[in-house]
């Protein structure tokens, strides 16, 4: 998304809200009724919510009746990751198996005890170690396992072999939760073939409103008995509280547009990403591109140049008019190494240099050229300063 002054290359963090989504939200804000009311105004609001439910369901080829709206992807994940998630056979779900590169809302937000939450390691490319997952699934336990694996990593873009994991779960009578927040709208998702029992989404990654998400069940046999929000019958009893009519309507509009554009946008962004990485390596041969040998989202590039501190690079690049993210998470002014890169075996020094460029539907080549110029200049200054200090 280039302009005379700025280039936005942080679409994995959030996508700019689409004009069509703004229109859908504005129209929904004009609906006076409560979706639970039986009068004409209430029925109009209810119809807007149900229309959005159909649009979100279509994005992942699922029945609309299995979509539950939430306040975002984090709530959706916490809602799903509970021992009370079960099939209607009532066999207890006793333990959680999750990949070591899951989002913090999965790693820290699940509702299992610490002793019953088990991390499965990943390969150097960030893919879950299937042999270790198989061992954990085969370990004798009284209850059923819940496996949680994200479809694609937000930092590296690595795409997990979800269909294969789904088959493994079926073989061991385990349930599978898939966090598809980062994948939706970037790659195709079909719940009829994926093997997921529960899938979670977030609107703002698609150009929808922030603060809206969804849980989608893979079967009518699955239920969450311990609801997060109780007190009303909304969302078929799954989540109490008056529905976010405007937010849901915006989510639906964003989902419909993302699905319509997927076939054209995915190859366009992949071509730009590949061109970008070729140019990056040509300018800075020492640069490492993470998960380069794994299947990746078409829009994502995570990389590091030795000796470059990510926090300094971000400031320099921002001043040059480009918005990107670091492979490190910043909290309360302290930079912590990315747990994703740590799990992949990346050295702390290289992980501390990691940056992420993520593309979107408005990205053009000029945006990437602006970043390359700014980043190369920053690396040159860093190297010059080091040479002077050593001299």
Which segments of 38-138 does DSSP mark as H helices, in order? 40-59, 73-80, 104-107, 130-138
Q: What is the distance between the alpha carbons of residues 374 and 319, in angstroms, rounded to a whole number?
A: 9
What digits encode the pLDDT tens for the residues 111-122? 999 999 999 999
Q: Give 387 or 184, the one with higher predicted confidence.
A: 184
Q: Which of 105, 169, 302, 330 is catalytic?
A: 330
What digits encode the pLDDT tens for the residues 134-189? 999 999 988 999 999 999 999 999 999 999 999 999 999 999 999 999 999 999 99
Length, in residues, of the chain:
391
Single out the residue of 19, 329, 48, 72 nearest to residue 204, CA to CA.
72
Mean pLDDT of the chain: 94
| Three-state secondary structure string covering 156-168 | CCEECCHHHHHHH
pLDDT at residue 389 in the model: 80
Q: What is the distance between the alpha carbons of residues 157 and 181, in angstroms, rounded to a whole number?
A: 12
> Does residue 334 surpass a pLDDT of 80?
no
User: What domains, with CATH codes, occur in the chain?
Assistant: 7-16+263-390 (3.90.1150.10), 19-256 (3.40.640.10)
Single out the residue of 184, 174, 167, 191 nearest to residue 65, CA to CA.
191
Task: Please give the biggest Cα pair distance in the chain.
Answer: 80
pLDDT at residue 4 in the model: 73
What digits encode the pLDDT tens for the residues 197-210? 999 999 999 999 99
Q: What is the distance between the alpha carbons of residues 8 and 310, in angstroms, rounded to a whole number?
A: 17
Percent of the chain past pLDDT 70, that is, above it, reads 96
Percent of the chain past pLDDT 90, that is, above it, reads 90
pLDDT at residue 331 in the model: 41
Q: Yes or no: say if 16 and 254 are a contact pair by the CB < 8 Å rule.
A: no
Per-residue pLDDT band for 329 (boundaries 50, 70, 90) equals very low
> Does residue 368 surpass a pLDDT of 70?
yes
pLDDT at residue 2 in the model: 64
Catalytic: 105?
no
C-alpha count within 13 angstroms, C-beta hemisphere, residue 62: 30
Q: For residue 298, which phi and psi values (nearest 5 degrees)? A: -70, -15
Q: Give DSSP secondary structure letters for 294-329.
A: S-B-TTEEEEE-TT--HHHHHHHHHHTTEE-EESSE
What mean pLDDT do residues 37-65 have? 98
């Amino acid at each position: 998304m280039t302009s005379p002054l700025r280039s936005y290359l942080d679409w994995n963090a959030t996508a700019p809200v689409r004009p069509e989504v703004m229109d859908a939200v504005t129209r929904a804000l004009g609906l006076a009724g409560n979706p639970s009311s039986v009068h004409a105004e209430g029925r109009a609001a209810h119809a807007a919510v149900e229309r959005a439910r159909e649009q979100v369901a279509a994005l992942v080829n699922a029945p609309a009746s299995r979509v539950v709206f939430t306040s975002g992807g984090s709530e959706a994940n916490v809602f799903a990751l509970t021992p009370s998630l079960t099939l209607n056979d009532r066999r207890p779900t006793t333990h959680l198996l999750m990949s070591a590169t899951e989002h913090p809302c999965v790693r820290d937000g699940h509702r299992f005890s610490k002793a019953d939450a088990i991390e499965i390691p990943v390969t150097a490319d960030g893919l879950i170690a299937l042999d270790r997952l198989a061992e954990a699934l085969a370990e004798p336990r009284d209850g059923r396992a819940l496996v949680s694996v994200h479809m694609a990593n937000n930092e590296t873009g690595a795409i997990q072999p979800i269909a294969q994991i789904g088959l493994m779960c079926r073989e061991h009578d385990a349930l599978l939760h898939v966090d598809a927040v980062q994948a939706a709208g970037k790659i195709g998702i079909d719940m009829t073939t994926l093997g997921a029992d529960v899938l979670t989404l977030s609107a703002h990654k698609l150009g929808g409103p922030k603060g809206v998400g969804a849980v989608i069940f893979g079967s009518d046999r699955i239920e969450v008995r311990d609801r997060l929000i109780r007190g009303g019958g909304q969302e078929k009893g799954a989540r109490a509280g008056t529905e976010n009519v405007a937010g849901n309507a915006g989510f639906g509009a964003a989902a419909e547009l993302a699905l319509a554009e997927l076939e054209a946008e995915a190859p366009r962004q992949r071509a730009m990403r590949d061109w970008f990485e070729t140019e990056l390596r040509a300018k800075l041969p020492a640069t490492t591109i993470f998960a380069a040998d794994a299947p990746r989202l078409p829009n994502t590039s995570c990389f590091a140049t030795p000796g470059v501190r990510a926090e300094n690079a971000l400031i320099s690049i921002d001043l040059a008019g480009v918005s990107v993210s670091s492979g490190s998470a910043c909290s309360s002014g302290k930079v912590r190494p990315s747990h994703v890169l740590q799990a992949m075996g990346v050295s702390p020094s290289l992980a501390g240099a990691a940056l992420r460029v993520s593309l979107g539907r408005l990205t053009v080549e000029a945006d990437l050229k602006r970043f390359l110029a700014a980043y190369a200049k920053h690396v040159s200054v860093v190297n010059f300063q080091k040479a002077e200090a050593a001299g």
